[in-house]
Structure 1
């Protein structure tokens, strides 16, 4: 029990905090701290009309090939951006009359277009006269030279940094090629491919410009997947992609009153009008608004199937509980559901043909005769195979999560002499980048995860650290880095080189000035004042130090804040979501474990979840705000025993039975004890 003096101290602290609480609108506080004004937003939206280098040359090469009936073969990378670029290039060229083929990529071996890959392409498609590379190729002179030796021309449509002195392709469309002055270099491979197709349509078949614009959904997916800064053309494209995904969502059967009366597993009355996914195959992709538009017009079958693939994929995600409503189709869906799902294929060493089968089955059948050879007999068989491929992508992603979790545990248990900058892991190469991302989130410093045997792996760094530039400036032939500035592959030839780069990074980080305390403040810090009376002396002192901005507002104000922020979206790289925090006392909150099946509405009537299925926590503060903390049940006890915590949240809204309520997803949580602990969601 606290002494009278301690109680007096707590009261003084509470009064101090309460007097400092602002009466300003939450959005105004965020806008002031982020420096948002009309000029800032206008600059964020501004984009260039300047043409990419060699764009005219690429269009001429394509026109010569298309008008002459020659075969154009697409070679693309295997990550989400590469898959998106390959699909849109194949479908777009088909729509504009090209005789086009596509090679399903493989993640084994070098990412560059090698001479062997050119030979493979020619073996699959012997009449090829023009190669177009997507999201790859800028540093592939060996493959380009091989293509030239065999009488083929090459268009490189890439966005990666040029390392070779001269790229010897016939056209090099790349904002980051040597000598380029393109004003928006931070665009992805699928965006570059979209520029090429759009320019061709404008020049040679303007009546197809609208159809090519529909394919911008893949450009937006690629831009977000490759973590391009959300400004200029990328911002516009991502916004358009989300809109097209909404149009691609098929009609889902709804529960009716009759379902409450059925003898077997009747639904509850509140479920009337909700999606009925008991028979997933009842969801018809052709009922989407997008497909109604496409099917009502004259299009090439390969173009139509690429867009139908979006509706097929969404129908399977609805069936699997990954998409619960149209409101789920946002930037978070692209970044945390769609992209990891496609990238999981290589991480779990599955078949890349699955990714392409969903969208371009004809290309898969031509490129991979060994893939599902018995399913191409009838349209019904192909449709079923596409659903199976989509389900496989979902399953691969769940496997990827399990592999990553186990790999993180093994990494932490192993000796790590170079942590926090470099970590050793025995995980598969495709998982190392995920481990680096997780560790970067925890440490906030440049992070490399490599195999102890090959000393090769992946790096992820904060926005303030350029790994490619840093390695280049070290000028050490034993070190290598290739990819993007903050997400790249890295390697060293020996442990001395490892020690040197770790020492150099440590020296650089230590040389940075201490951050201004004002820079560490949240953009908005809210306090659940309903629990202030229960503070102890230590928690009260902590609260004074935290300097919350406002009391936790009422639900309508939080809904208004979430809606205002939504109108400013999309948020992401270069324009992050505001740092919003909520401080509260867990002892005055309700902390309820959630099971995955319970959350998804998959539990049968009268049954209880398996204890192992409880993975999430739902926290309802004394004020009534619901906080959802995914995959956090391991922290249940520590949370309930804490006296004061601060959660960093993503604020959104949730609609239930016509009522719109604020909803907060916890991204990280700090337990304020004598020794603070930070737990990332």
Structure 2
């Protein structure tokens, strides 16, 4: 992969200094910590208390969600009359966890006749499929609950309803111009929905539904809270904002995952070598890919089977299958990424383009989204990777910070058979014979809509800090900002004018830098910067500036604070 990583620009986030000062007076903690809070919209004592001391009682009333009363009444009726209920979900982490939560909850209700259905990624594609609806019709299901899908399936839901299958849609994707004629729709993003929080995951919406059912059925909260580790897994893997209600769900879900995990999460932790307390990034990078691999490489049903299984031996066997799928995924991912990079290197027009669209008929559909994400690290422009699928050209889109790829695709809708997604990620299927026109149109749309500054990746700095400010007491409060994720990322700091300390800064393993630095006041700090060896000369030529996050380094039984260096530049 010869293409170089793009340079990055440093930008200090603006914060209202008056609010920072007022919060400092109220909380009496370090002003830098107050700045971090203000940047997160927390600017008074009560908001800070709620942020640092979350409680499950802070969760919103699920009945505030449009359609909830109707959904609860219909499910209650189906349970009481022993109707056949089909829980239907997407094949990714969000969908499979949502299906597992809904299925497991309903199965606990005596007399409930419930099954589940996960569409096959390659035979049926994303979302509700004709095959799935026909399965419900042919097998006598009279109620279908969709999770993480359905908001765009207007025709198929109309078809199901016409055949006597009532459909309750639980989806968090942006609705289209036409809303499906479902029996009930649960989606905070739909028009006139007064639910206070709009960014729940698909599994999160399923969780709100079972919370409402538990209230209506007068069940103890424990019957719902036991699934929070799966909800947290969906939040982590689906890259939804970790603020508001999502932060509450992630916080208590991680508590479950660490202190009282389900057998499936415990097994995945053990098999992933996660022996210490896990954080949200462990769910993103260690556990999520293994769950996703089932749908990418084979059949996502095995992930749901693992989540709902109670026998430890069977859970371990299913987890082993996920590991095998993930190992295969890594090999395929690497091969396709290298091929895609080769195509880009051979494109003489590459420097003038503002988008990347690549297509090969034989690329594995299960990894094109991952490949698109990897190419962002090298070209940093809205990227779509396409492959052949069931006679169609389809694939995944990924976008740069600040550019809404979903809206860009809306301007190409006449060339697309189907598409859906979020601000930064989407799935697309092209109409027959439209590939060339689509490549040209997408480039035109991006060129017209994008601010050219967005084509240079930005390091958003939360605060400037002095080395002497970095103390255990400061870090102990900083840890309470977790769980970290989109809109609540691990704080990024900048320290200015530091020098190499006694030649202690050195290159390790040919590509990383081990830092030992000091400032004018003689404060010494250690750190590690991965894949920064090409910038080592900056550390030897005089003072330099560092952008970093903070973490703890454990070595020989000792724990010390260290900088996790993101980037360095000559002192500004």
TM-score, reference length from structure 2: 0.78
User: Once the two structures are superposed, what CA deviation does each residue of 1:481-510 show, in whole Å capped at 9, x if it has no partner?
Assistant: 411122112355232332232133123334
Q: Aligned equivalents of 1:400 and 1:628: distance in 2?
A: 30
The alpha-carbon distance between structure 1 residues 99 and 521, as it changes in their structure 2 partners (threshold 3 A), is closer
Post-superposition shift, 1:194? 0.9
Task: Mark the structure with the bigger radius of gyration.
Answer: 1
- 1:84 pairs with 2:91: no
One of 334, 340, 364 as aligned partner of 2:289: 340
- 1:324 pairs with 2:275: yes
Post-superposition shift, 1:31? 4.1
Post-superposition shift, 1:393? 2.3
Q: Aligned equivalents of 1:423 and 1:346: distance in 2?
A: 24
Pairing of 1:232-631 with structure 2 (within 5 A): 232-248=244-260, 307-317=262-272, 321=273, 323-326=274-277, 329-347=278-296, 349-361=297-309, 383-414=312-343, 415-416=346-347, 417=349, 419-424=353-358, 426=360, 427-451=363-387, 456-472=394-410, 474=411, 477-479=414-416, 481-490=419-428, 493-510=434-451, 522-524=461-463, 549-550=465-466, 552-553=467-468, 557-581=470-494, 585=500, 588-593=504-509, 617=512, 619-622=514-517, 625=525, 627-628=527-528
User: Once the two structures are superposed, what CA deviation does each residue of 1:26-60 show, in whole Å capped at 9, x if it has no partner?
Assistant: 96346437734533757978864461111011111
Contact preservation (8 Å) 1:30, 1:578: no
Q: Aligned equivalents of 1:514 and 1:140: distance in 2?
A: 34
Q: Aligned equivalents of 1:336 and 1:66: distance in 2?
A: 38
**Partner-residue secondary structure (3-state), 2:292:** helix
**Partner-residue secondary structure (3-state), 1:154:** strand
The alpha-carbon distance between structure 1 residues 510 and 70, as it changes in their structure 2 partners (threshold 3 A), is closer
Q: Aligned equivalents of 1:160 and 1:575: distance in 2?
A: 21
**Partner-residue secondary structure (3-state), 1:113:** coil
Contact preservation (8 Å) 1:82, 1:189: yes
- 1:660 pairs with 2:555: no
The alpha-carbon distance between structure 1 residues 447 and 313, as it changes in their structure 2 partners (threshold 3 A), is same
TM-score, reference length from structure 1: 0.66
The alpha-carbon distance between structure 1 residues 399 and 42, as it changes in their structure 2 partners (threshold 3 A), is farther
- 1:199 pairs with 2:180: no
**Partner-residue secondary structure (3-state), 1:208:** coil
Equivalenced residues, count: 510
The alpha-carbon distance between structure 1 residues 153 and 41, as it changes in their structure 2 partners (threshold 3 A), is same
The alpha-carbon distance between structure 1 residues 460 and 561, as it changes in their structure 2 partners (threshold 3 A), is farther
**Partner-residue secondary structure (3-state), 1:488:** strand
Q: Aligned equivalents of 2:404 and 2:493: distance in 1?
A: 27
Post-superposition shift, 1:79? 0.8
Q: Aligned equivalents of 2:152 and 2:114: distance in 1?
A: 24
Post-superposition shift, 1:86? 0.5
**Partner-residue secondary structure (3-state), 1:477:** helix
Q: Aligned equivalents of 2:230 and 2:383: distance in 1?
A: 30
- 1:111 pairs with 2:114: no
RMSD (CA atoms): 3.7
- 1:650 pairs with 2:549: yes
Structure with the larger strand share: 2
User: Structure 2, unaligned stretches of length 5 or more?
Assistant: 1-23, 519-523
